[in-house]
Structure formats: C-alpha cells, structure tokens
C-alpha cells in the first residue's frame, strides 16, 4: 500500500471516529451517570491498532480527541479524552501485541475501556485536587465492561470484513 493510500485511510478512520463520537452523544444511556459514555469511537482506534499498528493507532486517537474539541468546543473534556485515548491506546497495544493468545479483541477492548476510564478519573483527581473522586472509579469500571465488550465484538466483525474485502491493507510487505 502506498503512503498516500495509507494517509487517506487513516484520515477516513479519524473522521469515522469523529462521527461516531458525535452520534453517540445523541444516544441516551439507561443509567444517568456523568462521565459514562458508550465509547463507540474506541472501535476506530482498536481497528487502527489491529490494521496499521501502534503508531497510527495513537495518531488516530489523539487526532480524534483534538478535532472533537474543535467540533464541540469543550476544552475541559478534551483534556479528559486525550489522556484516556493515550493510555488506552498504549495498554491496548501491549495487550494486543504480547497477549493476543490470552485475549481476543473483546478482552483488548475491555482493557482499553478500563484504561480510558482510569486515565479520565486520574486527570479529574489532578484537576480538582481531590483524591475522593477515585471512589467513582468502580462504577465507571463496571460500565466500561459492557461498553468494552460490545465495542470489542463489533471491531471483531469489522476486522474480519476488512480482511475479506480490503486485502491490500494487510499485505505489509508492500508498505513503504
């Protein structure tokens, strides 16, 4: 795959993630909890990690949060989201690369969701300088289980489909 192709594909992924982030804010959750989100855009980061590797995965995650800040205009949520994106991307990469025999994509995605929540709560602790916010983490972890499970499940299907229909993505030898 040529360099331009790859660039276009990655920017497409970023825009898909952006659209998912905007759409998911319109989907009501059964439980009203601040900070709990579906995390649909995590799907995009996970797929990028699987298809392109760590470097591009973290690029997509950071670009997504940056552009989302420009779209929604909330800087405080940008700080939460980018810290979550970086930590979850690193942990998902480790889980996918070194423990792919132990975890399927579902497990990797759950790890990512949990790491995302942990980073967010940690940043909130730092910003509000109140360690009691950590008491909120168990609830978020429980919710991240559900969202992580479904995100992992759907990215399994996505990766399967990509392998079938976009074989050019997986032929690494031709990459520059």
Partner 1 sequence: MTKGDKFLILFIVMLSFLSFAYINRYALSDQERYVSVQVNGQEVKKILYDDQLLGHTIPVESEFGYSLIEIGDMQVRLAEADCPDQICVHQGYVSRIGETIVCLPNKLVIEVKGESGEDYIDIMNY
Which residues of the shown chain bind partner 1 in the complex (CB under 8 A)?
34-35, 76-77, 80, 99, 101-104, 106-107, 110-111, 114, 120, 124, 130, 132-139, 141-142, 144-145, 149
Q: Considering beta carbons, is residue 1 or 36 the nearer one to partner 1?
A: 36
> 39 vs 107, which CB is nearer to partner 1?
107
How near is the Cβ of 141 to partner 1 at its closest, in Å?
Answer: 4
Minimum CB separation from partner 1 for residue 6, in Å? Answer: 30
Least distance from partner 1 to the Cβ atom of residue 34, Å: 5
**Of the two residues 91 and 169, which places its CB atom closer to partner 1 in the complex?**
91
How many Cβ atoms sit within 10 Å of the Cβ of residue 12?
A: 11
Distance CA(165)–CA(163), nearest Å, equals: 6
Q: How far is the CB of 111 from partner 1 (least distance, A)?
A: 7
Among residues 56 and 116, whose Cβ is nearest to partner 1?
116
Shortest separation between residue 16's beta carbon and partner 1, angstroms:
23
Count of alpha carbons within 13 angstroms of residue 29, beta-carbon side: 16
Nearer to partner 1, 14 or 121 (CB): 121
Give me the least distance between CB of 11 and partner 1, in Å please.
27
- Kindly compute the dihedral angle of the four CA atoms of residues 91, 92, 93, 97, in this order, to the nearest 10 degrees: 110
Name which of 8 and 127 has its Cβ closer to partner 1.
127
How far apart, in Å, are the Cα atoms of 165 and each of 20, 60, 63, 158?
A: 22, 22, 26, 10
158 by Cβ neighbours in 10 Å (0-12 / 13-18 / 19+) ranks as middle
Residue-wise over 104-135: b if at least 16 C-beta within 10 A, else e?
ebbbbbbbbbbbbbbbbbbbbbeeeeeeebee
């Amino acid at each position: 795959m040529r360099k331009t192709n790859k660039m276009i594909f990655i920017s497409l992924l970023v825009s898909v993630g952006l659209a998912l982030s905007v759409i998911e804010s319109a989907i009501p959750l059964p439980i009203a909890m601040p900070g709990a989100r579906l995390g649909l855009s995590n799907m995009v980061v996970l797929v990028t990690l699987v298809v392109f590797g760590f470097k591009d995965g973290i690029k997509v995650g950071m670009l997504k949060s940056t552009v989302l800040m420009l779209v929604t205009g909330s800087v405080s949520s940008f700080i939460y989201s980018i810290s979550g994106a970086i930590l979850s991307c690193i942990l998902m990469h480790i889980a996918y690369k070194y423990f792919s025999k132990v975890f399927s994509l579902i497990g990797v995605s759950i790890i990512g969701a949990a790491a995302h929540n942990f980073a967010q709560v940690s940043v909130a602790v730092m910003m509000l300088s109140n360690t009691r916010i950590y008491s909120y983490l168990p609830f978020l972890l429980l919710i991240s289980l559900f969202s992580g499970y479904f995100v992992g499940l759907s990215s399994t299907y996505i990766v399967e489909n990509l392998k079938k229909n976009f074989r050019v993505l997986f032929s690494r030898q031709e990459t520059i």
